[in-house]
């Protein structure tokens, strides 16, 4: 053993260790777990978007066959509300409105899908049958589904105590400076746009099992979560009042999250609490319809923006006004998404000297809205990259040229934006030029002409974007209202024979961490990949962790591992020095071999590991036995991946159908650990971005009913909706983490939607289209073409 395996280290496209398990159906997901004596929970949900609950009669349900228990909100007087993890302050400094989010509705139901009662049954079917037998007397109230309706004077109140349905009215930037800059503008470009609401639709529906051991007073929750320690903290401390040492949270294999499985959901508290009440395990698994009406939705912004330019097309100032839909209750990170994850990105890759943004977050009678792949950054990018294209069209400056003129130059890093962030590195020109070449931008007009000859409208669109991820420095987010730290934890456990178990506080739910993180160990310690296992997702095994979101697992979690490996190597060198009778300073370590500098005296990794655990010849007075180290890593800054996406589309004017012909992504994700996994992450993100831009439409009607509540009406992107995606990277290293990595999980979903819409608008150029809202469906595009037909004919 201890063979150096360079092809498995950093930069190697090794196959994913987890895929044998996933592809052969041997994954172990929450619903695959069954506990002895397990019961099943069925949740009765409000069919009304807004209703007073006059009474709930559970007598008939309780008498049904197989019913173990029926609970309503009235049975849970001691439970806390489901907490929000980020407190935003209003312009005047007062805290946001934070109404109680009861585990089961009390007094009022506030959205279609709000949990009203739960039946615990011997079987799933019996629980469901009984749930239907619960008689709830609702008094329906008028509902509001959109931010506009919720803010209208006299609108019905979602929460009686929240005036005007306003959660907060927040701003960032210096308004006076900003307004002054507009007075000097040669040109002001305005744009109003919507960032469409999305349903996350992870392949695996949410599920949870609560278990209680009365001999030890210990609770266990198995749940579909991206961050089990965070759930333990939120649910234990705030909702159920169970101390950490009596609460274990396990997030086993999880089939996709995209953000929707970050948050603490009522069902987790329900099954855990109910397991204690009835003394038996309780399982709940969402049906697909429940996923649509209870998984936190994404995006849902309505924005008005103004961009001031000088006579040369240099951006002078940006003013943004956004309404953000929070849904009926504040989900875990909901409040941070349209503020610190959005408005702080409004400088984009440009030198705009002043940015002012104000954001109103609004309660509505809809499913709570929270982070969804990209979270805030796609909203910022879509706004900016559409606005820049409109500015190009209205100033007559070429859309590449206007970007080049405004790019933050390479020598300006570290670059302080006017909206709090300091970018550490980037090369926007390089990613742009590489993408232009790959996409053959220069040859596009010939392709447009060729398409026209076939009766097709061809368009090309670009987006040059930046995002902030690798979240986040605890002190910074703490000063901005976060109620948690955002460091990460890694344990490197070297076993006596030299193999390694890594405990990480991040969580893999499709991203391939079991491979990527193992490659870090192989690269640093020289242990073959097969001898490195990554363990995640269990609070009983992992010291602590903040989980996976905001593309933080490698940048923050990987960095914690590096710190822990530093400790391992330092200790191992001391052991090696002892064995080789050399001084520690003279012992060099390089991927598995310890050497006394300048000699041929060496010790292998395995010998040192064994010595650490069999300390017969050991500096026992100075050094503890064992080789097992833990590190907490708190990042110094966010990381700033960026790049350029180019999309080419063809529209069939007769039907309005858009076909994405090809898509080019050149991203700077920092150092690339596994190029194959990066490519997969970017492709997946681009698929979701194309979905948002062209297909996915979450629609509520005026009564607050979710019209697109199934795959019959909600269009997920499918394989044949997607083009070949060319993925390449251009690396500038992150300057402040030990790996130089930035993150790749969200770039695809952040950079792509404006590239797609810019391409659609370009294709529709001859129809005078200035902007088209997402999703640009066939019906919508045909409507535009059809409406302008008489005008064109008249010309």
Task: Sort 657 into a burial class: Cβ within 10 Å, 0-12 / 13-18 / 19+.
Answer: middle
Q: Which of 8, 18, 98, 129 binds another protein (CB under 8 A)?
A: 129
What is the closest distance, in whole angstroms, from the C-beta atom of residue 122 to another protein in the complex?
15
Beta carbon nearer to another protein, 724 or 783: 783
Helical H runs in 691-777? 747-763
Nearer to another protein, 499 or 708 (CB): 708
Contact with another protein (CB under 8 A): which of 401, 445, 713, 766? 713
Min dist. Cβ of residue 783 to another protein (A): 7
Task: Please identify, using beta-carbon distances, which residue of 185 and 699 lies nearer to another protein.
Answer: 699
Counting contacts by CB under 8 A, is residue 777 touching another protein? yes
Closer to another protein by CB, 255 or 775: give it. 775
Residue with tokens 């979905």: 691
List C-alpha distances in Å: 625 to 261, 308, 570, 586. 40, 65, 14, 22
Considering the rule CB under 8 A, would residue 715 count as an interface residue with another protein? yes
How near is the Cβ of 699 to another protein at its closest, in Å? 5
Q: Which helix (H) or strand (E) holds 41?
A: strand 39-45
- Tell me the C-alpha to C-alpha distance, in Å, between residue 785 and each of 173, 318, 533, 770: 40, 32, 56, 13
Q: What are phi and psi of 476, to 5 degrees?
A: -65, -55
Compare residues 223 and 658 and give the one whose CB is closer to another protein: 658
Question: Which positions from 130 through 169 interact with another protein, judged by CB under 8 A?
Answer: 132
Binding span for another protein by CB under 8 A among 104-112, 419-427, 692-700, 752-760: 692-700
| Cβ–Cβ < 8 Å for 349, 380 | no
Q: Is 28 in the site for another protein (CB under 8 A)?
A: no
711 binds another protein (CB under 8 A): yes
Q: What angle do CA 231, 38, 125 make, to 5 degrees?
A: 105
Beta strands in 351-504 (DSSP E): 354-363, 415-416, 422-423, 457-466, 488-494, 500-504
- Distance between CA atoms of residues 703 and 225, nearest Å: 32
Judged by CB under 8 A, the stretch of 258-266, 327-335, 606-614, 775-783 that binds another protein is 775-783
CA angle at 435 for the pair 432 and 437, rounded to the nearest 5°: 110
Note whether 786 binds another protein by CB under 8 A: yes
Rounded Cα distance between 777 and 774, Å, is: 8
Looking only at residues 36 through 95 of this chain, which bind another protein when binding is defined by CB under 8 A? none
Element (H, E) at 628: strand 628-633
Phi-psi region of 164 (alpha: psi -120 to 50; beta: other; left: phi over 0): left
- Residues of this chain, 268-327, that bind another protein according to CB under 8 A: 289
What is the arrangement of strands in the sheet containing 457-466, beginning at the earlier edge strand? 457-466, 642-652, 657-668, 725-729
- Report CA-CA distances (Å) from 701 to 149, 640, 780: 12, 38, 18
Beta strands in 173-291 (DSSP E): 187-195, 207-213, 218-223, 247-250, 282-285
Nearest to another protein of 583, 655 (CB atom) = 655
Largest pairwise CA distance in the chain: 96
Closest CB 367 distance from another protein, rounded Å: 17
719 counts as binding another protein under rule CB under 8 A:
no
Residue 212 or 292 having the CB closest to another protein: 292
Q: 126 or 737: whose CB is closer to another protein?
A: 126
Q: Which stretch binds another protein (CB under 8 A): 88-96, 564-572, 616-624, 711-719?
A: 711-719
Choices 39-47, 522-530, 565-573, 781-789 (CB under 8 A): range interacting with another protein: 781-789
Q: Which sign does the torsion angle of CA 297, 721, 680, 471 carry? A: negative
Using the rule CB under 8 A, give the single segment among 337-345, 425-433, 710-718, 729-737 that binds another protein: 710-718
Q: Which one, 87 or 715, has the nearer CB to another protein? A: 715
Among 3, 530, 597, 707, binds another protein (CB under 8 A): 707
Is residue 695 within 8 Å of 708, Cβ to Cβ?
Answer: no
Task: Report the residue number, 695 or 756, with the smaller CB distance to another protein.
Answer: 695
CB of 698 to another protein, least distance (A): 10
Q: Are strands 187-195 and 301-309 parallel, antiparallel or unpaired?
A: antiparallel
- Collapsing DSSP to helix, strand or coil, 461 comes out as strand
Torsion, Cα 779 784 788 790, to 10 degrees, reads 20
Phi, psi of 496, deg, nearest 5: -55, -30
Q: Contacts with another protein in 333-372 (CB under 8 A)? A: none
Give the interface size with another protein as a residue count (CB under 8 A): 26
Least Å distance, CB 707 to another protein, is 6
Considering only residues 203, 311, 442, 712, which one is a binding residue for another protein as defined by CB under 8 A? Answer: 712
The correct pick among 177, 420, 722, 778 for binding another protein (CB under 8 A) is 778
Q: Which of 582, 695, 756, 774 binds another protein (CB under 8 A)?
A: 695
Stretch in the footprint of another protein (CB under 8 A) among 266-274, 500-508, 553-561, 691-699: 691-699
| Near another protein by CB under 8 A: residue from 708, 726, 731, 788 | 708
CB of 661 to another protein, least distance (A): 18
User: Which lies closer to another protein via its Cβ, residue 166 or residue 699?
Assistant: 699
Residue 595 vs residues 525, 583, 585, 643: alpha-carbon distances, Å: 14, 11, 11, 42
Q: Which is nearer to another protein, 136 or 337 (CB)?
A: 136
DSSP string, 51-118: EEEEEEE-HHHHTSTTEEEEEEGGG-TTPPPPP-SB--B-TTSPBPP-----SS--SEE-STT-EEEE
Rounded CA separation 716/738 (Å) = 38
Q: How far is the CB of 45 from another protein (least distance, A)?
A: 13
CB of 780 to another protein, least distance (A): 9
Q: Does 788 bind another protein (CB under 8 A)?
A: no
Give the chain's end-to-end CA distance (angstroms, integer). 79
617 is an interface residue for another protein by CB under 8 A: no
Strand intervals (E) in 203-300: 207-213, 218-223, 247-250, 282-285
Provide, rounded to whole angstroms, the least separation between the CB of residue 786 and another protein: 7
Among positions 655, 702, 765, 766, the unique one binding another protein when judged by CB under 8 A? 655
* 792 forms part of the interface with another protein (CB under 8 A): no
Binding residues for another protein (CB under 8 A):
125, 128-129, 132, 289, 654-657, 695, 697, 699, 707-708, 711-716, 777-779, 782-783, 786
């Amino acid at each position: 053993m201890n063979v150096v395996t360079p092809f498995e280290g950093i930069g190697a496209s090794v196959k994913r260790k987890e895929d044998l398990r996933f592809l052969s159906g041997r994954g172990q997901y929450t619903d695959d777990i069954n506990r002895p004596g397990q019961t099943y929970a069925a949740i009765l949900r409000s069919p009304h978007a807004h209703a007073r609950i006059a009474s709930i009669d559970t007598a008939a349900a309780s008498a049904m066959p197989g019913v173990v228990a029926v609970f309503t909100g009235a049975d849970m007087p001691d439970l806390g509300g489901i907490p929000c993890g980020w407190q935003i302050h209003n312009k005047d400094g007062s805290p946001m409105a934070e109404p109680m989010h009861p585990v089961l509705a009390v007094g009022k139901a506030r959205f279609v899908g709000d949990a009203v009662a739960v039946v615990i049954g011997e079987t799933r079917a019996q629980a469901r049958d009984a749930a239907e037998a619960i008689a709830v007397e609702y008094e329906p109230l008028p509902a509001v589904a959109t931010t506009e309706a919720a803010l209208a004077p006299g609108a019905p109140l979602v929460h009686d105590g929240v005036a005007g349905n306003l959660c907060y009215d927040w701003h960032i930037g210096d308004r006076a400076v900003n307004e002054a800059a507009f007075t000097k503008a040669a040109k002001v470009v305005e744009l109003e746009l919507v960032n469409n609401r999305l349903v996350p639709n992870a392949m695996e529906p949410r599920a949870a099992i609560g278990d209680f051991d009365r001999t030890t007073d210990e609770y266990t929750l198995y749940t579909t979560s991206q961050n089990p320690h965070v759930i333990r903290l939120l649910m234990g401390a705030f909702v159920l009042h169970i101390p950490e040492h009596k609460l274990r949270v396990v997030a086993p294999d999880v089939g996709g999250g995209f953000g929707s499985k970050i948050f603490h959901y009522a069902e987790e508290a329900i099954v855990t609490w109910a397991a204690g009440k009835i003394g038996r395990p309780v399982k709940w698994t969402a049906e697909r319809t429940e996923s649509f009406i209870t998984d936190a939705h994404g995006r849902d912004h309505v924005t008005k923006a103004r961009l001031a330019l000088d006579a040369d097309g240099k951006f002078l100032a940006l003013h943004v006004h956004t309404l953000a839909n929070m849904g009926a209750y504040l989900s875990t990170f909901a409040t941070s998404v349209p503020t610190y994850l959005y408005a702080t990105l409004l400088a984009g890759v440009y030198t705009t000297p002043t940015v002012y943004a104000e954001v109103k977050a609004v309660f509505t009678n809809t499913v709570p809205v929270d982070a969804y792949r990209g979270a805030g950054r796609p909203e910022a990018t879509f706004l900016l990259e559409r606005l820049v294209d409109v500015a190009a069209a209205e100033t007559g400056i070429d859309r590449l040229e206007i970007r080049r003129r405004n790019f933050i130059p390479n020598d300006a890093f570290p670059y302080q934006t006017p909206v709090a962030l300091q970018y550490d590195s980037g090369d926007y020109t390089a990613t742009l030029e590489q993408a232009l070449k790959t996409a053959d931008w220069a040859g596009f007009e010939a392709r447009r002409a060729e398409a026209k000859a076939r009766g097709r409208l061809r368009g090309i669109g670009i987006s040059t974007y930046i995002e902030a991820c690798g979240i986040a420095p605890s002190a910074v987010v703490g000063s901005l209202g976060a109620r948690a730290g955002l460091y990460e934890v890694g344990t490197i456990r070297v076993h006596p024979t030299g193999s390694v178990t890594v405990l990480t506080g991040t969580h893999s739910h499709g991203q391939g961490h079991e491979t990527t993180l193992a490659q870090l160990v192989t690269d640093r310690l020289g242990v073959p990949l097969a001898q490195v296992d990554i363990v995640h997702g269990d609070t009983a095994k992992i010291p602590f962790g903040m989980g996976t979101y905001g593309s933080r697992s490698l940048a923050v979690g990987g960095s914690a591992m590096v710190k822990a490996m530093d400790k391992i190597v330092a200790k191992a060198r001391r052991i090696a020095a002892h064995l080789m009778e050399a001084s520690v300073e003279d012992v060099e370590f390089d991927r598995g071999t310890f050497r006394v500098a300048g000699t041929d005296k060496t010790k292998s990794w395995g010998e040192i590991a064994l010595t650490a655990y069999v300390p017969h010849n050991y500096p026992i007075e100075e050094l503890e036995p064992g080789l097992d180290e833990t590190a907490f890593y708190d990042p110094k800054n966010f990381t700033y991946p960026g790049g350029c996406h180019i999309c080419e589309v063809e529209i069939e004017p007769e039907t309005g159908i858009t076909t994405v012909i090809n898509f080019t992504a050149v991203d700077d994700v920092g150092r690339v650990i596994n190029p194959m996994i990066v490519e997969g992450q970017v492709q997946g993100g681009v698929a979701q971005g194309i979905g948002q831009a062209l297909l996915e439409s979450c629609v509520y009607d005026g009564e607050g009913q979710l019209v697109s509540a199934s795959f019959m009406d909600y269009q997920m992107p499918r394989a044949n909706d997607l083009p070949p995606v060319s993925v390449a990277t251009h690396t500038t290293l992150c300057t402040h983490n030990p790996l130089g990595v930035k993150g790749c999980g969200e770039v695809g979903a952040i950079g792509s939607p404006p590239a797609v819409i810019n391409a659609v608008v370009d294709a529709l150029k001859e129809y005078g289209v200035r902007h088209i809202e997402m999703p640009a469906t066939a019906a919508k595009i045909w409507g535009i073409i059809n409406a302008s037909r008489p005008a064109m004919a008249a010309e």
